[in-house]
Structure 1
Amino acid sequence: PGVAYRLWEEAATAGLPPFDPPEILEADLSPLLLDCALWGVGDPAMLNWLDPPPKAALDEAQMRLHDLGAIDDENRPTEHGRAIARLPLPPRLAHMLVEAAWMGFAEIAAQAAVLLSERGLGGPDVDLERRLERWRSERGKRAEAARGLAKQWTKLLPASQPSPRKEGGLSGAIALAYPDRIARRRDASGEYWLSVGGRGYRLDPAHPLAKEEWLAVADIQGSAQGALILSAVAIDFATIEALYGDRIESGAHATFDPATGGVKTESGRRLGAITLSKGQDAKADPLAISAALLEGVRVHGTALLPWSDASQRLRERAAWAGVAGLSDADLADSLDQWLAPLLVGKRRLSDIDSGVLHNALLGLIGWDGQQKVERLAPPHFTSPAGTTHAIDYGAEAGPTVELRVQALFGVAEHPVIGANRVPLVLSLTSPAARPIQTTRDLPGFWKGSWADVAKDMRGRYPRHNWPDDPAAAVASLKTKKKQGL
């Protein structure tokens, strides 16, 4: 009993989830994965979770920890990873502090960590340099406490080098924490940016940072391409090159083009997804082309593949029958198993034979899965008139069959499928294939509105038989003359 105050429009209530999702399903799992590595658990799936962490999120966290040098190829913690774990910070920021201490700019890195950890500190400006200057001049209790926190974190770090290196400073610190978010301007206005990690970012073109060539980006909002930059700092390429020169690749490079479903190859210098300089078109290694195609499907989804109608129906039937392995998530998790072998020697996804793709799906569910699908989700419905009709398992109303109503004369019980005897949705049509009725209760239709439908049909299609008692009539698509009536 009591009063509940709703802080949103009433119309939005229906679209809200009943409860907030568990944090483990939405959070960055890098700290969790590092803790598991320190405990000696290389695969978190071995643990008993109330809510198992999503595999995609674990894979992303694993890749991030590898990039930070916190774990090795066998997911064991490195010495750097242990140093990171000793700091009371997320792995990205802890890595930034440890690396900055070795390079000689621990103090400003600690300030950057506080700036990114304490929401609103130094104001809401996107430019972290401005926020840092504003925070340094503030004299309030919160600002003083934050400065004290930065000093505490600095004391936890190893001794700095005798002289700071030139790639220090706020921009260098942010680039250390978020190497995948270093971004380059893509257009003259500065609205669109491309990150080293391959994601597209957006920035208000009226902001002064829009005039910069490079940004070290810290906070973004949105998960799709074109995420909004919330905080960043200008960085020069000399600093980027000093920090990540070993990651700049030269030579032929293969990239996936989602518009064509193919691979482009070009020579030049690249830092992640950013092309620094271009050369002439070049022939890339066939393995690199296959890897680019596989990554393209991983990023843009399996809908890019040339699925046949039979394959789409098989996936819908398997989903309805409860046979795991063919959902979008399942296919994405097992791309290396079933898709990678099909990409050898291919340059476009359209080069894959649709029949081979279909066989790959059958292989994923195996013989037992195929038999279960056939038993619980038959592909066709055969009417008493001898006609065969595909069952649409992707229909919004449920498994649906469209057929002429005359093909069901003589049927006294509604057709059902599956172990739970689920009624088929019957989409009944006239001899001209015009819709008459959609029903899950055929006997009820015969006893109910059929009399009115039959009266209308006799006027429209007088050459066909429209019996008063269709449940006792003979199913046939022939005219009365051909039936001898």
Structure 2
Amino acid sequence: LAQARDLLTSLGALEPSGGLSAHGAAMAALPLHPRLAHMVLAAKADGADDGALACLLAALLAERDILRPAPGAARDRDLTTRLEILIGQGRRAPAGQILRQPTLGVVRDEAARLRQLAGIAASARPEPARCGRVLARAYPDRIAQARPGQPGRFLLSSGRGALIDVGDPLAAAAFLAVAEVDGAGSEARVFLAAPLDRADLEELFDEALRPCETVTWDPRAEAVVARVERRLGALVFESRDLPDRADPARTTPAVCAGIRRLGLGCLPWTRETDRLRARVAFLHRVHSADDWPDLSDDALLASLADWLGPWLDGITRRSAFARIDLMAALKALIGWRRLADLDRLAPAQMDVPSGVKVALDYEVPDGPVLAARVQQLFGLTRTPAVLDGGHPVLVHLLSPAGRPLQVTRDLAGFWKGSYAEVRKDMRGRYPKHPWPEDPTGAEATNRVKPRGQ
């Protein structure tokens, strides 16, 4: 429905407000598809001869094709050929084509009827060479521009690719007005079209082709590029680079588009920023999704301009991304009030009985994890917890060499249970480290036993 409204608006059938225009009412009076009705009326405004040509084209496109390929021959795709036959300039079908005589009569009768309905004089003399110009009125989204150095390959003004067999005469045209294409794939196959002069395009679409300054992200240069362009949809008629524009209001959206294209990995993440994201993600998941922002990749990309935009002043190329203060941007997104709560609810590190601070790992799925050597936790009978004591951490008890011996959320249970087996196994391997029978009453330490003990 939205596409239909856009098409009718582009044809002038609807006012910007959505109501029917006077032109739309005139289109509705003709028994034609809106594209073809617009073409007839617009061509008539250019003169009776073009109006008569438009009636012939409308009748051609509304009926069965008057030409069909002979067995083993390629289809003729040029609408100009058919117009020449209809007005008597071409008495016979071109080589390899068979003329459907009954259809020819039907098309001529329908064209005459359309002339009468549109009020176009019978004395008008259509000129087949103007076919592309008239057809472009009906299909402004199917203006095709040849791709440089790629015979038979075109770009449509809608942004879609288009193909014509290299051996077809239309394959050498600089521009085409395309009436019929297939509906599959990213590159359409052209079935019916007509050559189009650039001068006609310039005249028909003068309003759309006025110079427009653009500031965009260039994926090849990996930088913001300012250009003056004359475009018709996806077709670029002229493009001229301008000096860099430093206005953040224009460069920031372009940089954000570049970051989305490259992915968040292009930003200067550090171990500290990763840890901050993990702590907030933990609180968003476990504590309160409403109170804590979503710092996942998808969420950050979706709101990129909001949280990172203010920190992109002076940043216009990827090589300058290293200057972005990601830590400051993330803290601003979190908010200063919540940062104080963050240190209380999900501290970055935790004191252990041996007197040192040990970093908590929030990046693991079951985190946070407190990884410490067994000797550093002697005397600790309760499992450390975050969220004001409401969420026990996952304790990784390590050997003196830093290898995991036990993973638990029940430290008291470990001391009473499997510690005895761990002590039995480890005493012989690490005799310089204390392995007391009662770890809950022993003094925690970061060092080996003194000499002589």
Q: TM-score range by the shorter chain?
A: 0.5 to 0.7
What are the Cα deviations for residues 339-361 of structure 1, in whole angstroms up to 9, with x where unaligned?
Answer: 33322222224535667332222
Cα distance between partner residues in 1 of 2:438 and 2:151:
74
Give the structure 2 partner of residue 441 of structure 1. Answer: 410
Q: 1:402 aligns with which of 371, 375, 381?
A: 371
Shift in Å, 1:68? 9.9
TM (norm. structure 1) is: 0.54
Whether 1:283 aligns to 2:240 is no
1:429 paired to 2:392: no
8 Å Cα contact 1:185-1:214 kept in structure 2: no
> Who is 1:229 aligned against?
186
Give the superposition deviation at 1:382.
2.1
Q: How much has 1:398 moved relative to structure 2?
A: 2.8
Q: What is the match of residue 456 of structure 1?
A: 425
Tell me, yes or no, if structure 1 residue 306 matches structure 2 residue 268: yes
Q: Is 1:468 aligned with 2:437?
A: yes
The Cα of 1:242 is off from its aligned counterpart by: 7.4
Q: Does 1:376 align with 2:345?
A: yes
Tell me the CA shift for residue 464 of structure 1: 0.8
- Does the CA contact (< 8 Å) of 1:458 and 1:466 recur in 2? yes
Work out the CA distance in 1 between the residues paired with 2:371 and 2:268: 26
Q: Does 1:166 align with 2:123?
A: no
In 2, distance between residues paired with 1:364 and 1:355?
15
Q: Which moved more, 1:235-244 or 1:317-326?
A: 235-244
- Alignment pair present for 1:319 and 2:288: no
Change (3 A) 1:69 1:83: closer
Instruction: State whether residues 400 and 427 of structure 1, in contact with CA within 8 Å, keep that contact through their aligned partners in structure 2.
Output: yes
Aligned equivalent of 2:255: 293
Q: Deviations over 1:286-344 (max 9, x none)?
A: 33544421221344444432233322322222222120254444434443333333222
CA–CA distance in 2 between the matches of 1:313 and 1:327?
Answer: 13
How far apart are the structure 2 equivalents of 1:311 and 1:452? 40
CA distance, structure 1, for counterparts of residue 395 and residue 167 of structure 2: 62
1:231-273, Cα deviation, whole Å (9 max, x unpaired): 5647778598777665557698654355775335677766667
3-state SS of 1:370 partner: helix
After superposition, the Cα gap between the structure-2 partners of 1:100 and 1:81, relative to the gap in structure 1 and judged at 3 Å, is same
CA–CA distance in structure 1, aligned partners of residues 309 and 9 of structure 2: 23
Amino acid aligned to 1:166: G
One of 441, 446, 450 as aligned partner of 1:477 = 446
* Range with bigger deviation, 98-107 or 290-299: 98-107
CA contact (8 A) 2:212 2:229 kept: yes
CA 1:185/1:372 → structure 2, altered by over 3 Å: closer, same or farther?
A: farther
How is 1:70-469 mapped onto 2 (pairs within 5 angstroms)? 77-79=17-19, 103=42, 166=132, 176=141, 229=186, 233=190, 246-247=207-208, 255-257=216-218, 261-263=222-224, 283-287=243-247, 288-322=250-284, 323-324=292-293, 326-352=295-321, 356-418=325-387, 421-469=390-438
The offset of 1:465, in angstroms, is 1.1
Alpha-carbon separation, structure 1, partners of 2:234 and 2:431: 69
Q: Percent identity, aligned pairs only?
A: 32
Q: CA deviation at 1:466?
A: 1.9
Cα 1:419–1:278 shift into 2, 3 Å? same
2:332, 2:394 → 1: CA distance? 30
Paired residue type of 2:244: A
**What secondary structure does 1:318 align onto?**
helix
Q: Distance in 1 between matches of 2:22 and 2:209?
A: 27
SS of equivalent to 2:415:
helix
* Secondary structure, aligned partner of 1:470: coil
2:279 is paired with a residue whose SS is helix
Cα deviation per residue 1:6-28 (whole Å; 9 max; x = unaligned)? xxxxxxxxxxxxxxxxxxxxxxx
Amino acid at match of 1:315: R
Look up the equivalent residue of 2:223 and give its one-letter code. G
Structure 1: distance between partners of 2:253 and 2:343: 35
Q: CA offsets, 1:66-98, max 9 Å, x none?
A: 9999999xxx845479999xxxxxxxxx99789
SS of 1:286 mapped into structure 2: coil
Instruction: Work out the CA distance in 1 between the residues paired with 2:9 and 2:318.
Output: 30
CA distance in 1, matches of 2:276, 2:362: 9
Gapped regions of structure 2 (runs ≥ 5): 25-32, 44-53, 63-74, 78-116, 121-125, 285-291
Note the alpha carbon deviations across 1:102-147, whole angstroms, 9 max, x for none.
65789999x999xxxxxxxxxxxxx9x9xxxxxxxxxxxxxxxxxx
Matches of 1:425 and 1:66, distance apart in 2: 62
Backbone CA RMSD of aligned residues: 5.5
Q: Secondary structure at the match of 1:391?
A: strand
- Contact 2:38–2:137 at 8 Å: present in 1 too? no
Unaligned runs of 5+ in 1: 1-28, 35-60, 85-93, 114-126, 130-158, 222-227
Cα 1:387/1:98, change in 2 over 3 Å: farther
Closer, same or farther: CA 311–414 of 1 in aligned 2, 3 Å = same
Q: How does 1:27-38 map to 2 (within 5 A)?
A: 30=2
Partner-residue secondary structure (3-state), 2:381: coil
Q: Name the CA shift for 1:250/1:204 in 2 (closer, same or farther; >3 Å).
A: closer
CA distance in 2, matches of 1:261, 1:397: 39
How far does residue 412 in structure 1 lie from its aligned partner after superposition? 1.5
SS at match of 1:341: helix
| 2:228–2:242 contact (8 Å) kept in structure 1 | yes
Q: CA deviation at 1:189?
A: 11
**AA aligned opposite 2:258:** G
